[in-house]
Amino acid sequence: MRRVVVTGLGVVSPIATGRENYWQALKAGKNGIGPYTTFDVTDCPVPFGAEIKDFDPSQWMDNKEAKRSDRVIQFAVAAADLAVTDAKLDTASLDPHKFGVYIGSGQGGIETTFNNFKTMMEKGAKRVSPFFIPMMISNMSTAYVAIKHHAQGPNMCVVTACATSVHSMGEAYHTIIRDDADVILAGGTEAALRSISIAGFAAMKAISTRMDAPEKASRPFDIDRDGFVMGEGAGVLVLEELEHALKRGAHIYAELVGYGSTCDASHITAPDPEGNGAARAMRKAMAHAKWLPEDVDYINAHGTSTPLNDKMEAMAIRSVFGEHTDKVLVNSTKSMIGHCLGAAGALETVAAMQSIQEGIIHPTINLDTLDPECAINVVGSRAVEKNVSRFLVNSFGFGGHNGVAAFQKFED
């Protein structure tokens, strides 16, 4: 059986750009949440989130391309370039037919959609941009990355809301195993911080309205949580067939050994209240990996800071791990970078990947009092030292979509 390893990590996030800067910020508990600055918040019901400030797309594409691409595409191109550089991957030397791109997005070019709809309403249909469609459709991020790196192999844009990134990585994993690709750039991208999207989540009562203290609004598993905080960014991993990676002398961060995908089939937005779908996804990932519950050291949780999701996830973890639950450390990257929707799982995987390298698990900031209904071992406000050999990354999305990826320390 072909094996799949991670050889490169690329990050564009609200707290830092680039793998090393991102990791240092996470270890320090840096908070990326504050007032929005990149758009008019006059009609925005919640004027704060985890925003990427001072992003300059001209570092990653020429000015003409930047003007013809949505922010969601720009983030994807940047994260993919950073991952390729981190992997020391000479893309020109690859077999282009076995080089793929799987970068998903939950909402695609929402800013482009909003702006062109407004233009049509105010000035008429003839004033809609000829680039509206290619700037808006979700798969264009994969297209831009493929064109830039001449990746002519499998190319897919997964759209499963907040489970998007983990599903992208998992489907890429299966593609490499069945020998349809040797290298795939896999992950997610999201740039949904605009009034229309925020208003939609606010109308659902899904996001925090902690106006008096935005920096404390994202507080996964805390008894005082009141909703998630929106974020933006992109995370891309270089997934590579093991022999291909060894042949070129690549640094291997970890091995991807399992993937679970399930659906609650319960409700369009609320999770299964007993966490059955999430538990099945964890069990599937662990079964692929041939792990027992006691083999798992750490879980990077979905941990959104919503009342229902955190309770459900804690129940699912306890259901899967039983008496071993208290020995498994859990944290939530979203406490610092907010909920980056389709990009969340990839950004969280990059964070967890560093834990397996350094033996440090980053903090879950703003966790003042653990909710008794979330009876799991959550890392609090300070990073902890822990030898990590095996970990899970959980992602659960609207529609009941569940994705879990299992990684372990590489052993040849």
Q: Are 17 and 241 spatial neighbours (Cβ–Cβ below 8 Å)?
A: no
Task: Quickly count: other Cβ atoms within 10 Å of residue 31's Cβ.
Answer: 21
* Cα Rg of the chain, angstroms: 20
Separation between Cα atoms, residue 114 and residue 291, nearest integer Å? 46
Specify whether the backbone of 48 is left (phi greater than 0), alpha (psi in -120 to 50) or beta: beta
Which residues make Cβ contacts (< 8 Å) with residue 322, sequence separation at least 6? 293
Query: 204, exposed or middle or buried, with CB in 10 Å at 0-12, 13-18, 19+?
Result: exposed
The two three-digit tokens of residue 217, written as one number = 């609004």
Q: Are 229 and 339 spatial neighbours (Cβ–Cβ below 8 Å)?
A: yes
- Catalytic member of 162, 263, 340, 374: 162
Specify whether the backbone of 340 is left (phi greater than 0), alpha (psi in -120 to 50) or beta: alpha
**DSSP state string for 166-232:** HHHHHHHHHHHHTTS-SEEEEEEEE---SHHHHHHHHHTT-B---TT-GGG---TTBTT---B-BB-
Q: How many helices (H) and strands (E) does the chain have?
A: 13, 15
Separation between Cα atoms, residue 344 and residue 127, nearest integer Å? 35
Are β-strands 183-190 and 99-104 bridged in parallel, bridged antiparallel, or unpaired? parallel
Q: Are 99 and 149 spatial neighbours (Cβ–Cβ below 8 Å)?
A: yes
Which residues make Cβ contacts (< 8 Å) with residue 21, sequence separation at least 6? none
Nearest to 206 by CA among 277, 269, 300: 269
**Is residue 263 annotated as a catalytic residue, yes or no?**
no
Task: Quickly count: other Cβ atoms within 10 Å of residue 381's Cβ.
Answer: 12
Catalytic residue annotation: 162
